[in-house]
Amino acid sequence: MADPVLQLTNLRKSFGGLVVTDGVTLDIGAGELHAVIGPNGAGKTTLINQISGLLAPDDGAIVFNGTNVTALPSNKRAELGLARSFQITSVLPKFSALENVALAVQARSGSSYKFAGAAAREAELNDPAFAALEEVGLSTRADVLAAHLSHGEKRALELAIALAMQPKLLLLDEPMAGTGHEEGARLVGVLQRLKGRFSMLLVEHDMNAVFALADRISVLTYGRILASGAPAAVRADPAVVTAYLGDELE
């Protein structure tokens, strides 16, 4: 495998006395879909927040595409090609779906220090935004305010925003969280199509989705990586079965 897109080395983070990330070391290769699973409170979202720059780790290093980004703010990391979706939907409610995505396109396309000319009418922004909406199956809802979208549609919008950034790595924090069976299946389909085109770090509770999508899986418990490897190997690992998978897979 070529150089990894993302390298975490001995990452540590604690909140007061609570150690939430306890020496995590992890590589994600180019084009790989790497899933991180683990029980609630294992520190999955905290890990994603450190990678995307919303939280600063206490110790350790985050190297993204050969650049040490440990001390960079999240907007700089986004410029380098790191995109994320949020577990709790984080979109701009009073912007239309198209505008939400167009803002992400704008961050990649020319200057945002333009003070004249209606941004809403720029094909340079709208066309790629519309394409990203199409990719996640939201093109018919382009003009709807994000606040008026259904929960599943908002999850898809999160994904479209991340895609429009043309990222080198997608951090997906429970993209299926709270969606119904049908919507969830639709999102898995979307991710399946994206797989290979983007490197992805997927945090997800839906084990069927994880085992259907992931190239490699890491199991996180109490902020530590318990096991990491191909899905079949992880599924068979006795430590993983006791700690986590036992009741999930009968």
Partner 1 sequence: MTDTTLIAPQRKPHALELAPVFIFLVLALAPVAAAFGPETYLLGLFTRVMVFAIAALALDFICGYGGLVSFGHAAFVGIGAYSVGILSAHGVTDILISLPVALAASAIFAYLTGTVCLRTKSVYFIMITLAFGQMVYFVAGSLAPYGGDDGMTLQVRSTLLGFQPFKNDRVFYYAVLLFLLAAYLACRAIVASRFGRVFRGAKENPVRMATIGYDVFKYQRIAYVIAGMIGGLAGFLLANVVEFVSPAYMSWQRSGELIIMVLFGGIGTLYGAIVGAAAFLLLEDGLGSITENWKLIFGPMLVLIVLFARGGVVGLIERLTGRAGRG
Q: What are phi and psi of 126, to 5 degrees?
A: -70, -35
- The torsion defined by the Cα of 57, 60, 65 and 71, in degrees rounded to 10, comes to 50
Q: Is residue 94 a contact residue for partner 1 (CB under 8 A)?
A: yes
Residue 211's alpha-carbon distances to 11, 20, 35, 232, in angstroms, are: 26, 25, 9, 9
Residue count at the site for partner 1 (CB under 8 A)? 45
Per-residue x/- track, 121-160, partner 1 (CB under 8 A): -x--------------------xxx--xxx----------
61 touches partner 1 (CB under 8 A): no
Q: How far is the C-alpha of 123 from the C-alpha of 84, rounded, in Å?
A: 25
Q: Which residue bears the tokens 């979202």?
A: 45
Give the sign of the dihedral formed by CA 175, CA 179, CA 181, CA 186: negative
- Interface stretch with partner 1, choices 2-10, 13-21, 37-45, 91-99 (CB under 8 A): 91-99
Q: Does 72 bind partner 1 (CB under 8 A)?
A: no
CB-wise, 113 or 247, nearer to partner 1? Answer: 113
Contact 172, 202 (CB under 8 A): yes
| Cβ neighbours of residue 101 closer than 8 Å, sequence gap 6 or more | 129, 130, 132, 133, 157, 160, 161, 164
Nearer to partner 1 (CB atom), residue 81 or residue 234:
81
Q: Which is nearer to partner 1, 44 or 216 (CB)?
A: 44
Among 2, 16, 40, 116, binds partner 1 (CB under 8 A): 116
Closer to partner 1 by Cβ: residue 40 or 112: 112
Binding site residues, partner 1, CB under 8 A: 52-54, 73-75, 78-79, 83-84, 86, 90-96, 99, 102-104, 106-108, 110-120, 122, 143-145, 148-150, 161, 165
